[in-house]
Amino acid sequence: MGRLEDRNVAFVRTVVSSGLRLQEAASLLTFEVPKRRLGGGRYYRGKIAAAVTRSKKQRTYYVSSDAVGDVESYAASSRAWVIRRAQKAGRYDRLPEMRMLIEVTRGLKPKVRWCDQDGVIGEQELSLLTWQERILLFEEGPHGPEPLWLWLNERGLPFLPSSWENVFRTANKRCERILTPPEHLRRDPHQVFAPYATVHSGRHSFALYMLVVLNYLMDQRFGLTPEERRDFRLLYGDPWFMVQNLLGHSSRETTVKHYLAPVADLQLRAMLASTDDDPAEAPMPELDAVFARIARESEGIQDIDSRLVPAAGNAA
Is residue 131 assigned to a domain?
Answer: yes
Give the pLDDT score at 272.
45
- By the 10 Å C-beta count (0-12 exposed, 13-18 middle, 19+ buried), 133 is classed as middle
> How many whole angstroms separate alpha carbon 223 and alpha carbon 261?
28
pLDDT recorded at residue 276: 44
Both 100 and 215 in a single domain?
no
Look at residue 79 and tell me if it is in a domain: yes
Residues 10 and 130 in one domain: yes
Do 115 and 203 lie in a common domain?
no
- pLDDT at residue 229, rounded to an integer: 65
Q: Do residues 13 and 141 share a domain?
A: yes
In a structure prediction context, what are the per-residue pLDDT tens digits for the chain, which is 316 residues long?
Answer: 457 899 999 999 999 988 898 999 999 999 999 999 887 788 899 999 999 998 899 998 989 999 999 999 999 999 999 999 999 999 999 999 999 999 999 988 999 999 999 999 999 999 999 999 999 999 999 999 999 999 999 999 999 999 999 998 888 888 778 877 777 666 766 666 667 777 778 787 777 777 777 766 666 555 666 676 666 665 556 676 777 777 777 677 776 666 665 444 444 444 444 444 444 444 444 566 666 665 655 555 556 554 555 554 444 5
Is residue 157 in some structural domain?
no
pLDDT of residue 265: 42
Pick the closest to residue 92 from 114, 117, 115, 74 (CA basis).
117
Cβ neighbours for 53, distance < 8 A, ≥ 6 positions apart = 21, 24, 59, 248
10 Å CB burial of residue 287 (0-12, 13-18, 19+) is middle
Single-letter amino acid code for the residue at 226 = P
Instruction: Determine the Cα–Cα distance for residues 247 and 15; give it in Å rounded to an integer.
Output: 11
Tell me if 83 is assigned to some domain: yes
CA distances from 266 to 110, 124, 293 (A): 46, 49, 8
Is 167 within a domain?
no
Burial of 290 (0-12, 13-18, 19+ CB in 10 A): buried
Q: What is the CATH number of the domain that holds 100?
A: 1.10.443
- Is the domain of 21 the same as that of 131? yes
- Report the alpha-carbon distance of residue 203 to residue 248 in Å, rounded: 11
Whether residue 134 sits in one domain with residue 222:
no
pLDDT at residue 100 in the model:
98
Q: What is the domain extent for residue 225?
A: 195-310
The pLDDT score that the predictor gives to residue 273 is: 44
Strand partners, 139: 146
Q: How far apart are CA 316 and CA 314, in angstroms?
A: 6
What is the model's pLDDT at position 290? Answer: 60
Count of domains forming the chain: 2
Please give the single-letter amino acid code of residue 298: S
CA distance 245 to 150: 25
Nearest CA to 147 among 101, 212, 107?
101
Q: Are the C-beta atoms of 144 and 75 separated by less than 8 Å? A: no
- Given 147, 182, 210, the domain boundary residue is 147
Query: Are residue 101 and residue 200 in the same domain, yes or no?
Result: no
Please name which of 53, 52, 47 lies closest in space to residue 34, comparing C-alpha atoms. 47
Residue 154 belongs to some domain of the structure: no
Which residues contact residue 274 at a Cβ distance below 8 angstroms, ignoring those fewer than 6 apart?
229, 230, 233, 238
Predicted pLDDT at 304: 56
Distance CA 13, CA 114 (A): 31
* Shared-domain flag, residues 9 and 139: yes
Residue 198 backbone dihedrals phi, psi, to 5 degrees: -125, 170
What's the pLDDT at 197? 77
pTM: 0.75
pLDDT of residue 295: 60
What local confidence, expressed as pLDDT, does residue 94 receive?
96
Q: Are residues 137 and 199 in the same domain?
A: no
Is residue 104 within a helix (H) or strand (E), and if so which, with residue range?
Answer: strand 99-104
From the list 73, 74, 69, 31, the residue with the least C-alpha distance to 49 is 31
Strand 144-147, strand 301-304: pairing: unpaired
38 and 123 share one domain: yes
Q: Among the three residues 110, 131, 147, which one is the final residue of a domain in this structure?
A: 147
168 domain-assigned: no
Quick one: 22 and 141 in the same domain? yes
Q: Is residue 174 part of a domain?
A: no
Do 22 and 128 lie in a common domain? yes
pLDDT for the residue numbered 234: 59
